[in-house]
A and B are shown apart, each in its own frame.
Chain A
Amino acid sequence: MDFEIQETPEAREFRKDVRAWLATNIPKDFPRHADPSDYSYDDFLKTRDLGRKLGELGWLWPTAPKKYGGGGLSIELGIALEEELDQLDLSLPPYYDPGCRYGAPVLMVWGTEEQKTRLLPPMFKGEVAGWQLFTEPTSGSDLYSLKTTAVRDGNHYVLNGQKAFVGTAYDVDFFIILVRTDPKAERYKNLGWFQMPANLPGISRSPMRLLWTDGTGGASNIVTFENVRVPASCLIGGENNGFEVSKSWAELEHGIAGTIRRNRLITRLFAYVKQAQRGGVHLIDDPQVRSVLTDIFITSEVNRLLGLRNYWMSRTQQPVTYQGPQASYIRKMSGLETAKNILKILGPYALTSDPLWDLSDGHVEADQRHSICALHPGATEDIQRVIMARRIGIGRVEIEKPGKLTSLVTPVG
């Protein structure tokens, strides 16, 4: 066994080029905020601009196929690139873009050659970013009960309905949306998957103020569709096949791609407890603090290793069953547990992002909120367990198959 990714000599050389490029292209004051909702519009534009520059070099989605506008780099080079960005507290892409992160691998499976050739290059070059529109005000865990409709009209589909918990406060270029295309067909055979422009007439947004959108630039959205005419060429995966397509997306969102990213929160926490004192004693030297820190560490190690396992399994095309939702379930639950443990150690300090009194640049306080919000995206922790049970075959002999995937576009997960 080997738990480490070995750096090739080529990657070592490439790292130097990357470092030099980043030094000239990323100013010291490049925006980085603990809370995604703290980004101003100007900050947001800077991150998109960096994305375009990286995209031109093939460095935004470095391991995506060159044929479709990706970098075509080996995993080793992609990792070197991500690690250099990580040194600057940045990652790929430097903004919220599930439309490309999950949408591109889905297109690779389900798109026609024409769709892949047309849609993927602007995605991989950072010219466009996209959001997902699945959840509705009355369809969450029971996603496939969704009510938004798409009715065929000549070369178009006409969309009506509402989607909730969508995206962030600023610009977006395309939507990936799951809608009901056949009102009469049975469940799972009545859905369509569209990748469509986000600016068509009849689309409107209203902000949702959520626990993770505390910042001045923060909001998620309700998106309303009123007789929105979407070109039929936006349908991905064919008529009434949206359920199958959505399974590929879900596989990724649940975490089958794994990750080899470091846990920045843990790094920050250890720095914090070595620096902060209570009653003249450094927190790290307090036996009770140490005991709680140990629990935090054990949890984070288990998460790291399951992320690593999934990373290895997905990159080496091992047959997977329950591993994606398992990583998701454990990540969600241990995130909440860790937030509680941090609160035990830091007390009320964990609940303020005040620049004078907080020692973590707001990261600890943001985590207290985000760990709750993180329970729900990509299906709740309860749904993850339901999927695990089906994939393991608890109480049943026939085992549910995972969503289809052919390639991944991220080097580090």
Chain B
Amino acid sequence: MDLSLNERQLQLKSAAREFVAKEYPHEKLAELNRSDTGLERDTWRRAADVGLLGALIDPNLQGTGNSLTDAAVIFEELGRGPVPGPFFSSAVLSTLIIDECATPEQRSALLPTLASGQEIATLAMTEPGYGWDPESVQVRGKRVSDGYLLNGTKLFVHDVLAATKFICVVRTNGVKKGKGGLSVLVVDANASGLHRRTLPGFMNQVGELRFEGVRVPEEALLGNITDSWNQLQTAFQKAMPILSAFKVGGCEAIFQLSVEYSRSRIAFGVPIGRFQRVQDHIIEIVNRLDAARWTTYEALWKLDSGRPAAISSHLSKIVASEGYYEGCNYAHEAHGGIGTSYEYPLVAHTRMSRTLLHQLGEPQYHRQQLATYMAAQDYA
């Protein structure tokens, strides 16, 4: 047993921390978090230069070939920002989907462009009939002579304006139920008939993608197979704890912010952290932080060491998503009014905790998945 980070991971951690400190001063973070893309092209190029965008890509394909735990260590640092932009969408989720679903030729064509930052990919799966189960995917990719014809709407697509490629989950066999015929098509953001926008509200860079007679060639189909559901789920299971690690970083940041504030803010003649009610809020944050951290890293360890990891992966997603969300609420209770100012670093986390709460499935969806696995497994 060894719960410490290894040499390489410690190096990745400090390099990522340095990158965030240099590229994302507080004022810039505040601004970028609310921008349409969360992205500046120069920063994105430098992220590619330090190997961040190819963290999970094979060195033969211009990546840095890290383990999932290695990548999570980096994403924990990004989460402390919280650094917005399509880092997770492109460098983790899309990368893993391509890795699981694509043919070797497609991988060789696509992954180096993601590693270099030339292309930015994101997943387009959920729809107005929101859900992460097969039945919730209804957009049709109709087989036509030279490829596929897409019509319909994808909703709550992350990094919708930053992406240059959409990894679209669609139905290609005309059947409306079940996993069969669920396929993955890669669609260029500038395809004719594709319309996109971000949604206003309490989320960042999440939007709508409309297909109005979008035509894609046959090669757009990832992996030459029309039933990609299982491969998608494998990719999701690997991606989830890395997303959780981002939230662990977020929890850590709001915990430190709250402890510092509890020392410096004076009320009734003493630092507010002397009041047990204020202490309780901060203790609830650290409890959520540690629960998120250890469920997340155990899931990563299981995945990296080839152990069955489905239960742990869903568990980490529930605990980290809810922990970040609730942790922000407790941080607001500890901070009072100042915590709601856009000038103060807390709000960016609060918005991020909402933005990411449902990414890859809302907590209730993961509870259902967990229950199914638990019922099947012999706990007695």
Contact = CB atoms under 8 A, between A and B. Distances in A.
Interface of A: 1-6, 266-267, 270-271, 274, 284-285, 290-291, 293-295, 297-298, 301-302, 305-306, 308-309, 311-313, 322, 326, 329-330, 385-386, 388-389, 392-397
B280 to A, nearest CB: 6
A325 to B, nearest CB: 9
Given A309-B290, A395-B278, A301 B295 contact: yes
A1 B300 contact: yes
B287 interface: yes
A134 B156 CA distance: 58
B371 A389 contact: no
A3 B280 CA distance: 30
A363 to B, nearest CB: 13
B3 A389 contact: no
Contacts of A305: 291, 294-295, 298
A85 to B, nearest CB: 19
B265 to A, nearest CB: 9
B375 A326 contact: no
B364 to A, nearest CB: 9
Contacts of A394: 259, 262-263, 273, 278-279, 282-283
Contacts of B302: 3
A326 B271 contact: no
A326 B276 CA distance: 15
Given A1-B301, A297-B374, A330-B287, A386 B259 contact: no
B253 interface: no
B3 A309 contact: yes
Q: Which of A4, A271, A285 has the most CB of B within 10 A?
A: A4
Nearest to A274: B380
Contact of A312 (B3, B69, B301): B3
B21 interface: no
B272 interface: yes
Contact of A386 (B276, B286, B300, B319): B276
A309 B305 CA distance: 19
A205 B53 CA distance: 70
B34 interface: no
Contacts of A386: 276, 279
B251 interface: no
Q: Which of A302, A394, A395 has the most CB of B within 10 A?
A: A394
Contacts of A322: 286
A48 B280 CA distance: 42
A274 B1 CA distance: 33
Given A274-B380, A302-B319, A1 B276 contact: no
A302 B291 contact: yes
A132 to B, nearest CB: 26
Contacts of B146: none
B5 interface: yes
A397 B297 CA distance: 30
A371 B244 CA distance: 31
Nearest to B369: A294
Contacts of A330: 287, 291
B380 A270 contact: yes
A305 B319 CA distance: 12
A6 B1 CA distance: 7
Nearest to A285: B375
A284 B282 contact: no
A178 B270 CA distance: 33
Contacts of A312: 1-3
B39 interface: no
Contact of B2 (A1, A285, A393): A1
A317 to B, nearest CB: 12
Nearest to A323: B290
Interface string B278-319: 111011001100110011011011100100000000010011
Nearest to A269: B379
Nearest to B272: A395
Contact of B379 (A3, A266, A291, A326): A266
Given A270-B379, A285-B375, A291-B367, A1 B297 contact: yes
A298 B282 contact: no
B130 interface: no
B4 interface: yes
Contact of B276 (A284, A329, A385): A385
Contacts of A5: 1
27 contacts: A1-B6, A1-B69, A2-B2, A2-B305, A3-B1, A266-B379, A274-B380, A294-B374, A295-B367, A298-B370, A302-B291, A302-B294, A305-B294, A308-B294, A309-B290, A311-B1, A330-B287, A388-B279, A388-B286, A389-B279, A389-B282, A392-B259, A393-B263, A394-B273, A395-B262, A395-B271, A396-B274
B202 interface: no
B342 interface: no
A257 to B, nearest CB: 14
B303 to A, nearest CB: 11
A271 B378 CA distance: 9
B278 to A, nearest CB: 7
Contacts of A274: 380
A318 to B, nearest CB: 8
B301 A2 contact: yes
A389 B380 contact: no
B344 interface: no
A294 B298 contact: no
A385 B283 contact: yes
B279 A385 contact: yes
A1 B375 contact: no
Contacts of B4: 1
A203 B139 CA distance: 81
A393 B301 CA distance: 32
Given A270-B380, A305-B294, A297 B370 contact: yes
Contacts of A4: 1
